[in-house]
């Protein structure tokens, strides 16, 4: 795959294009940029619509007006061979191997790392698109933060009882005790946890004044949420965190995708229909021995690193190795001074071991802050970013979809 010289004239460098600077895409770009520094036969480019790196793990904090440290993509790439191009990806042509940015620019590639992740599925419930806030980007979050800060009293409904919904409800309730917070979802909060940590989570939400309700929303209205049984849950603000949807660009590009729009990959994270395309993070349907992985920061960064390692191997004339990953924890913050950590088996099923209280809060903060030192280590010692739990027997039978 590497470029060669013909008659003393350098041919066009091998172009590696990374789309999306989330946790997975950023890991791929930093790892590639560090490993390929000094090589003139390869060009690495990262494309993202904004220069600021968005810490999705901290967005529930940002939504309540709490200040978090800003990190810029150019700073994270500093000292590597990767360059940054700012722009919205508007089209991908997998056959022509080109990407259109802002409708008027084109970037060609030889190898593509597709990391355009997911957003809240506001299309699944009528009215959510028009009347609900999301945590999908910094702009939406800042609008929500302003709305909450100006609300003297009232009710906030958080749609979705998954981890994002739980953390958001806890942050809002702790930051604004004058507001009534209702956490609404199809399942009770912490449903995937063992009995003791699940009970602790529910009790912590109750201490914060969060009303957790199990119900199916069928419509979001300007003044609340309508449930399947016809009940209206009144709300001054609705935050939607339920479900995820993928960018339609992968399917439109002709890449093979699953029913959710995630790119189907082989064992090395290459598209099964276009092997010059690697899929990482939420954008990929990656099968392991326990099934298809679900997208989290915990698994996203390893996919980005593995894609980078595989590309480097191919550039050096070697075959990429299979990707294997096993989950190891589910950390949940419950405000700034409380939390619960459920340790898991590699297939993400709960172990008996868990943490609660301030110790769990500190654990979660360490996890949330971990990308920065990880990226820095990658730049100094690229191999240091290549270690994660492989999952043992749980992932040994993983194969391509």
Q: Which two tokens stand for residue 138?
A: 């910094």
Q: Are 124 and 28 in contact (CB under 8 A)?
A: no
Cα angle 12-37-109, degrees, rounded to a multiple of 5: 35
Closest CA to 193 of 29, 61, 330: 330
pLDDT of residue 326: 96
- DSSP symbols for 47-100: EES-SEEP-GGGHHHHTTT-----EEHHHHHTTSSEEEEE--EEEEETTTTEEE
Q: Under 8 Å CB-to-CB from 311, ≥6 apart: which residues?
A: 16, 32, 111, 113, 278, 320
For CA atoms 44, 263, 57, 233, the dihedral sign is: positive
Domains (ranges, CATH) in the chain? 5-117+247-323 (3.50.50.60), 128-242 (3.50.50.60)
Q: Are 55 and 368 in contact (CB under 8 A)?
A: yes
CA distance 200 to 190: 9
pLDDT of residue 381: 81
pLDDT of residue 2: 44
CA distance 361 to 357: 6
pTM of the model: 0.93
Q: How many helices (H) and strands (E) does the chain have?
A: 11, 28
Closest CA to 288 of 400, 368, 134, 126: 400
What is the chain's pLDDT, residue by residue, as a tens digit (401 residues)?
A: 545 455 555 578 999 999 999 999 999 999 999 999 999 999 999 999 999 999 999 999 999 999 888 889 999 999 999 999 999 999 999 999 999 999 899 999 999 999 998 999 999 999 999 999 999 988 999 999 999 999 999 999 999 999 999 999 999 999 999 999 999 999 999 999 999 999 999 999 999 999 999 988 889 999 999 999 999 999 999 999 998 899 999 999 999 999 999 999 999 999 999 999 999 999 999 999 999 998 888 999 999 999 999 999 999 999 999 999 999 999 999 999 999 999 999 999 999 999 999 999 999 999 999 888 889 888 888 765 567 888 988 987 544 33
pLDDT of residue 263: 98
- DSSP symbols for 240-287: E---EEE-THHHHTT--B-TTSPEEB-TTSBBSS-TTEEE-GGGEE-E
Q: Are 13 and 38 in contact (CB under 8 A)?
A: no
pLDDT of residue 84: 98
Helical axes 297-315 vs 371-380, angle rounded to 10°: 20
CA distance 348 to 342: 10
Q: Please give the sequence-ordered ranges of beta strands (E in DSSP) within 94-135, or none if there are none.
A: 98-101, 105-108, 111-114, 118-120
pLDDT of residue 12: 86
Q: Under 8 Å CB-to-CB from 349, ≥6 apart: which residues?
A: none
Helix (H) or strand (E) run with residue 239 in it: strand 237-240
Q: Are 278 and 270 in contact (CB under 8 A)?
A: yes
Residue 387's Cβ-count burial label (10 Å; 0-12, 13-18, 19+) is exposed
Closest CA to 346 of 389, 300, 396: 389
Residue 1's Cβ-count burial label (10 Å; 0-12, 13-18, 19+) is middle
CA distance 240 to 165: 8
């Amino acid at each position: 795959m590497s470029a060669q010289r013909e008659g003393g004239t350098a041919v066009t460098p091998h172009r590696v294009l990374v789309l999306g600077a989330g946790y997975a895409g950023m890991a791929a770009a930093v790892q590639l940029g560090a490993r390929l520094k000094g090589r003139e036969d390869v060009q690495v480019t990262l494309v993202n619509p904004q220069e600021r790196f968005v810490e999705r793990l901290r967005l529930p904090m940002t939504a309540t007006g709490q200040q978090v440290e800003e990190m810029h993509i150019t700073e994270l790439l500093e000292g590597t061979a990767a360059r940054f191009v700012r722009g919205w990806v508007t089209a991908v042509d997998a056959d022509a191997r080109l990407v259109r940015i802002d409708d008027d620019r084109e970037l060609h590639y030889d190898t593509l790392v597709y990391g355009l992740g997911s957003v809240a599925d506001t299309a699944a419930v009528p009215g959510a698109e028009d009347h609900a806030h999301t945590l999908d980007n910094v702009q939406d979050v800042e609008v929500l933060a302003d709305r909450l800060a100006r609300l003297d009293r009232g009710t906030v409904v958080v749609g979705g009882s998954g981890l994002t919904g739980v953390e958001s409800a806890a942050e809002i309730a702790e930051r604004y005790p004058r507001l009534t917070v209702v956490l609404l979802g199809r399942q009770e909060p912490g449903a995937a946890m063992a009995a003791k940590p699940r009970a602790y989570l529910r009790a912590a939400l109750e201490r914060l004044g969060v009303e957790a309700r199990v119900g199916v929303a069928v419509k979001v209205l300007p003044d609340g949420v309508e449930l399947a049984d016809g009940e209206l849950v009144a709300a001054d603000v609705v935050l939607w965190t339920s479900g995820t949807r993928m960018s339609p660009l992968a399917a439109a590009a002709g890449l093979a995708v699953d029913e959710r729009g995630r790119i189907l990959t082989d064992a090395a994270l290459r598209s099964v229909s276009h092997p010059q395309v690697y899929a990482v993070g939420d954008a990929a349907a990656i099968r392991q021995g326990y099934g298809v992985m679900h997208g989290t920061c915990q698994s996203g960064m390893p996919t980005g690193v593995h894609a980078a390692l595989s590309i480097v191997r191919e550039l050096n004339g070697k075959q990429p190795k299979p990707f294997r990953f096993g989950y190891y924890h589910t950390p949940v913050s419950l405000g700034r001074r409380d939390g619960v950590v459920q340790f898991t088996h590699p297939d993400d099923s709960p172990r008996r071991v868990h943490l609660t209280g301030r110790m769990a809060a500190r654990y979660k903060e360490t996890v949330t802050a971990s990308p920065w030192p990880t990226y820095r280590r990658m730049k100094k010692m690229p191999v240091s970013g290549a270690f994660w739990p492989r999952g043992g027997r749980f992932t040994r039978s993983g194969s391509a979809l």
